Amino acid sequence: MSIGHPAVEVREERGILHMRSLEPLAPLPARLLERLVHWAEVRPEQTFIAAREAGGDWCRVSYAQMLDSVRAIAQSLLGYGLSAEKPLALLSGNDIEHLQMALGAMYAGIPYCPVSPAYSLLSQDFAKLRHVCDLLQPGLVFVSEAAPFERAITAVLPADVPLITVRGEIAGRSRTSFASLLAQPGGAEAEQAFAATGPDSIAKFLFTSGSTKLPKAVITTQRMLCANQQMLLQTFPVFGEAPPVLVDWLPWNHTFGGSHNVGIVLYNGGTFYLDDGKPTAQGFAETLRNLKEISPTAYLTVPKGWEELVSALERDGELRERFFKRISLFFFAAAGLSQSTWDRLDKVAEQHCGERIRMMAGLGMTEAAPSCTFTTGPLSMAGYIGLPAPGCEVRLVPVDGKFEGRFRGPHIMPGYWRSPQQTAEVFDEEGFYCSGDAIKLADASNPQLGLMFDGRIAEDFKLSSGVFVSVGPLRNRAVLEGTPYVQDLVITAPDRECLGALVFPRLAECRRLSGLGGEASDAQVLASPPVRQWFADWLQRLNREASGNASRVEWIALLDEPASIDRGEITDKGSINQRAVLQWRAGKVEALYRGEDASILRAGPVA
């Protein structure tokens, strides 16, 4: 497999480390959809995107068909008077029509925003949806199915905001059918609008996950999207050697799925198979069904997806045969991959293919559309984020005893929409975006080896003794070593004499471990001897490497109440908001520190 190995320039000035790739970024298209126009001419009949129909067959849209529909939708959207001040909001999740609407808006030069469906479907108070709509003031809303979104739309959006749906309508609201947008082909107005767009045009607004505060709207320009795809192509030339084929479930309201993965296919003339599955106990069967039919050339998912997949690959020969048929690249993002999962993937690949498949990762964020670094260096370990991508400058600045990663390049956002103060706060005096991520050299004596993730600076705190606690590495190690029973945890707590941990367990796995039936409550499962013994042993293992109070966890508590999206304890992509959990569960934390909570599991002496 072709992977770039660019040399890196490293210089130090007044304690600040600067790094950049010596390979320049190649010239970029002015707008991402130039690639759609190109592939519609070069490979008109090739499938661009495919999704399952109700009967199980694949509904396919070719590059030529997609361009025709995009032009027609662009022409139709121009009649709504939309702009950055009144953008298009897409409230429903991944499907072909969602992508057609998004690309149609982009063609017309109309910014759009893919909003997390969870804000409408899972939330009870719609607080985040209200925040999104108050900030954006959308002039048009799209949903595939009207009925599931009726309550949210009625509660949050003014009655005069029109609606486009594939199916259904909402009483009292102007509605246009999606099919009617395709009735007339795109005309001169659509072509003029497309020609008027350029690198600085806003393609979309992407909201941050809100893992620390309310979500912010990241202005995502055409330059950012094109720069990131060119970075990817130069880092992974394999994408340009044969059309990439992806089988992908990642939500398009996040940058990994909607910018990174969809972009890989579009930029390089590949095919995107839309996976309706998810890496959950209920949803992964659909992913396996798809992977038994379609052989991807690369597979990109979150660590939980890899955990589910490796278990299936180990037991299913038919799946192995199909999955490894033309695979050349593995990629994970959004969280750390446990070493045990990594080792199992290597083993099953070696047994089937005779060699390992390269597992890649990097550091990315919504504000960078998303990629900044890739693991093209010689190391392979948990926490390794690699070297700067071509075109990305990295600045490591001392902050609170760590180094904050700061980034500059054509892939970095101009700012947050309608938030000048927040924008000013995240750019330094040299124009670098301040990520809040702590980063360190993998080897201080050899910067060419690359970089390691070192947690989030804002999560760190001091104990009552004044000792700093580096929360990120401790939490990541605890979660990775807690596979498969630990979903996430929060380290407690500032100004206390010792560390504790509030643990969100994987309840389905814990139930199996307990041996109890379905009639047992979650609390009974977590109180069962097998579960408590496993977690006691896990805590003991964690503390073996502790060097003092700042790394030794004195107690844990298993939580039977899941994190709440409405209280801001968890984002729609599953990230825990440490501050919100500690705020909402302050009473429990206080009781645990006093020893008044029966759920507490205390650490024993280290053997």
pLDDT at 2: 61
Closest CA to 448 of 27, 57, 4, 20: 20
pLDDT at 455: 83
pLDDT tens column, 266-316: 999 999 999 999 988 789 999 999 999 999 999 999 888 898 999 999 999
Enter the tokens of residue 273.
């198979």
Q: For tokens 């024993």, what's the residue?
A: 604
Enter the tokens of residue 306.
């890899």
Residue ranges and CATH numbers for the domains of the chain are: 460-602 (3.30.300.30)
DSSP string covering 405-428 = EEEESTTS-S-BTT-HHHHHHTB-
Q: Are the beta carbons of 450 and 442 closer than 8 angstroms?
A: yes
Enter the tokens of residue 237.
């030339």
Q: Are the beta carbons of 439 and 520 closer than 8 angstroms?
A: no
For 421, counting Cβ atoms within 10 Å of its Cβ (0-12 exposed, 13-18 middle, 19+ buried), the class is: exposed
pLDDT at 573: 65
Closest CA to 360 of 348, 339, 338, 377: 377
Q: For tokens 């198979």, what's the residue?
A: 273
Enter the tokens of residue 576.
């825990």
Closest CA to 263 of 234, 287, 237, 232: 232
pLDDT at 5: 65
pLDDT at 270: 99
pLDDT at 465: 79
What span, in angstroms and rounded, lies between the C-alpha atoms of 290 and 333? 21
Q: Are the beta carbons of 439 and 404 closer than 8 angstroms?
A: yes
pLDDT at 473: 86
Low-confidence ranges of the chain (pLDDT < 50): none
pLDDT at 212: 57
pLDDT at 380: 80
Helix or strand run (H / E) with residue 252: none
DSSP string covering 82-138 = --SSS-EEE-S-SSHHHHHHHHHHHHTT--EEE--THHHHT-SS-HHHHHHHHHH--
Q: Are the beta carbons of 295 and 245 closer than 8 angstroms?
A: yes
Residue 230 half-sphere exposure toward CB, CA atoms < 13 A: 23
Is the peptide bond prior to 303 cis by the omega test (within 30 degrees of 0)?
Answer: no
Residue 561: count other Cβ atoms within 10 Å of its Cβ: 12
What span, in angstroms and rounded, lies between the C-alpha atoms of 404 and 396? 5
> Global pTM?
0.88
DSSP structure class, residue 211: S
For 7, counting Cβ atoms within 10 Å of its Cβ (0-12 exposed, 13-18 middle, 19+ buried), the class is: exposed
pLDDT tens column, 188-198: 999 999 999 99
Residue 351: count other Cβ atoms within 10 Å of its Cβ: 11
pLDDT at 280: 81
pLDDT at 606: 65
